[in-house]
Amino acid sequence: MLFQRAVILGTCTLVTILYAMTVTIANVSLPQMQGALSVTQDQITWVVTFNIAATAVATPLSGWLVGRFGRRRLLIYAIIGFAIASLACGLANSLGTLIFFRVLQGVFGAPLAPVCQAIVQSTFPRHMYAKAMAFFGMGVIIGPIIGPVAGGYLSEAYSWRWVFFMIVPFTLLALMAVLAFIRDTSTRTAVRFDWTGFLALSVAVTCLQITLDRGQRADWFDSYEIIILTCLAVAALYMFLAHVATTDRPFLRPALFKDRNFVIGVTLMFIFGLLNFTPITLLPTLLQNLRGYPDSVIGYVLAIRGLGTLAGFFFMIVGSRIDPRLMVVAGFATQGISGWYMAQADLNVMLDDLFWPMIVQGFGVGLLWPSITAITFSTLNNKYLDEGTAFYHLIRNIASSIYISISVAVIMRTSGQRYAEMTDHVSPFNQNLDLPWASRGWSATTTEGLGHLGSEIGRQAAMIGYINSFYMFSITSFAFIPLVLLIRWKKENGLPAAKESEENVRD
């Protein structure tokens, strides 16, 4: 029995690696994609944000698809579709085509993590959840280690297309493992799916994401496009909430939110989602555009974060009986410290300056993932497991895509403001420009000198934008730590309060 559980856990971990690789493996080549496709910084991040948003929109379908096809068949279909979409991403010849196939990649990848998590949780007893989820979480962090290193090397040696081509062999390996070891023990039932609620939520998420991605370029609410999208998002969200509250069988049952720990855990996972992918999306463009580092080196920087996460997961395996509330506090604190340290960087930042912040930030991820998962599902009734895991991953993905878009908007807006402020000081009457180290390359009286000066001001302004985004990251990490005080957790045997658990079973 133990061997069977271990094999299932290993297979589910391998499948989860696929989703983790899709985000980080593309990040390392964002600067090269930006140049190859001739797009701006905010546009190239759509390759990441639309993929995450598509995953978020498709995630609620997981419970319905499990009821219709079963967990095993759903995994097989999703892996095959994921492989085809990944291959198509590598063959794309325009930004629109690439984003389209990244959306498909997100749609097919959406069921992978929640279905695998449900399989793991139904395979192991409750008292083994923390340790099992720590092992399962390896899939979330091995991908960010393998992906950036291999993707950075292939991107530099060949082209950015190979970061997608290299995913295909992993999908074939995962498919063979599922065929060999996963058996569908779940009960297949004809689940009635609430398409009205799903479509309303999909419209709300999609409009919000487009608003955040397009807002800075369209000058926010001075644009009719942004006003219309915002109104659609608000109207769709209202329709979704009203429908869930009034219909008899919504796809997201309100009974889920009667569980105190589930509500607090989902909120913590939303905060975790805000922080998870942001640094590894911002750093590649900073290091290449402002410092000129090649893709292979950037890949190693991102992999360092993965090593920190690996260390955090190993710590959680050894210390699985430690109160998870303490681990959540420690996890968010390490995130905040790493963000604050990165905010102290300047244009002379070296790779050594990023080593410890990335290690610490990754270690925080390793502490947070299994701890929040254990808290969220500690008292949840098993009959809500599929819905609960789907919503759990939905919240994380929505938060990730939103915060990346907000961070990029902060960089662009701050950079523009600082550029305008600094150019006010460019004048033939500014005596600082006559100093020897300035007059050699910068001059306010020649075209060439103005070009060099404008380029340097642009670099300095962009760096200020990155610094502000890192400060925002750090403040967000620290601000939500007090939520941990709302969690109910019984110290004896590391189990939650029995009274609350019994109430959920009666529901």
pLDDT higher for 266 or 155? 266
Q: Is the pLDDT of residue 432 over 80?
A: no
Instruction: Give the per-residue pLDDT at 20.
Output: 74
Give yes or no for residue 293 having a pLDDT over 80: yes
120-130 pLDDT, tens digit each: 877 776 666 66
In tens, the pLDDT along 223-252 reads: 888 899 899 989 998 988 888 788 777 767
Give the Å distances, CA to CA, from 229 to 58, 108, 234.
Answer: 20, 26, 9
The residue ranges of every structural domain in the chain are: 2-193+251-418+457-506, 194-250
495 pLDDT more than 50: no
| pLDDT recorded at residue 235 | 93
Over residues 68-87, mean pLDDT = 88
Q: How confident is the model at residue 473 (pLDDT cuts 50, 70, 90)?
A: very high
Report d(CA 320, CA 66) in Å as an integer: 30
Tens digits of residue pLDDT in 20-63: 777 677 777 888 888 888 887 778 878 888 888 888 788 778 77
CB 60 within 8 A of CB 198: yes
Query: Mean of the pLDDT values across residues 412-429?
Result: 80
Query: CB under 8 Å to 411, separation ≥6 — which residues?
Result: 41, 282, 462, 465, 466, 468, 469
Q: Residue length, the chain?
A: 507
pLDDT at residue 185 greater than cutoff 70: no
Position of tokens 């550029």? 419
Extract the runs of DSSP E, i.e. beta strands, from 17-117.
none
Q: Mean of the per-residue pLDDT values for the chain?
A: 80
- 354 vs 191, more confident: 354
C-alpha radius of gyration, the chain, whole number:
24
The predicted structure's pLDDT at residue 504: 42
Start-to-end C-alpha separation, the chain: 31
Please determine, for residue 113, whether its predicted confidence score (pLDDT) is greater than 60.
yes
pLDDT, position 1:
64
What pLDDT does residue 443 have? 64
DSSP string, 311-342: HHHHHHHHTTTS-HHHHHHHHHHHHHHHHHHH
Condensed to tens digits (0 to 9), the pLDDT of residues 300-343 reads 888 888 788 888 878 877 766 777 888 889 999 999 999 999 89
Distance CA 46, CA 281 (A): 11
**Is residue 173's pLDDT more than 60?**
yes
Three-state SS for 339-387 is HHHHCCCCCCCCHHHHHHHHHHHHHHHHHHHHHHHHHHCCCCCHHHHHH
pLDDT at 170 > cutoff 80: yes
Torsion, Cα of 178, 165, 91, 54 (10° steps): 50
Which pLDDT band, with edges at 50, 70 and 90, does 386 fall under? low
Paired tokens of 506:
């009666």
Output the CATH code of domain 2-193+251-418+457-506. Answer: 1.20.1250.20
Residue 247 in tokens: 């219909």
Residue 250: which of 201, 299, 298 has the closest Cα?
Answer: 201
Q: How far is CA 444 from CA 415, 421, 460, in A?
A: 21, 16, 18
pLDDT per residue as tens digits for the range 270-283: 999 888 888 888 88
Cα 367 to Cα 324: distance, rounded to the nearest angstrom:
9
CA 289 → CA 94, 126, 285, 301, 363, distances in Å? 21, 48, 5, 15, 27
Mean pLDDT lowest for which of 108-112, 360-364, 441-445? 441-445
Q: What is the pTM of this model?
A: 0.78
Task: Read off the pLDDT band of 141 (50, 70, 90).
Answer: low
Torsion-angle region of 70 (φ positive above 0: left; ψ -120 to 50: alpha; else: beta): left
pLDDT greater than 90 at residue 478: yes
Residue 383: band (very low, low, confident or very high) from pLDDT cuts 50, 70, 90: confident
Query: pLDDT tier at 497 (50, 70, 90 boundaries)?
Result: very low
What is the phi/psi pair of residue 195, to 5°? -70, -30
> What residue has token string 């808290």?
375
Query: Do the beta carbons of residue 56 and residue 398 sit within 8 Å?
Result: yes
Tell me how far apart the alpha carbons of residues 258 and 254 are, in angstroms, rounded to a whole number: 7
Mean pLDDT of 429-453: 65
Question: Whole-angstrom Cα distance, residue 52 to residue 221?
Answer: 25
Pick the range with the lowest mean pLDDT from 305-314, 428-437, 442-451, 491-500.
Answer: 491-500
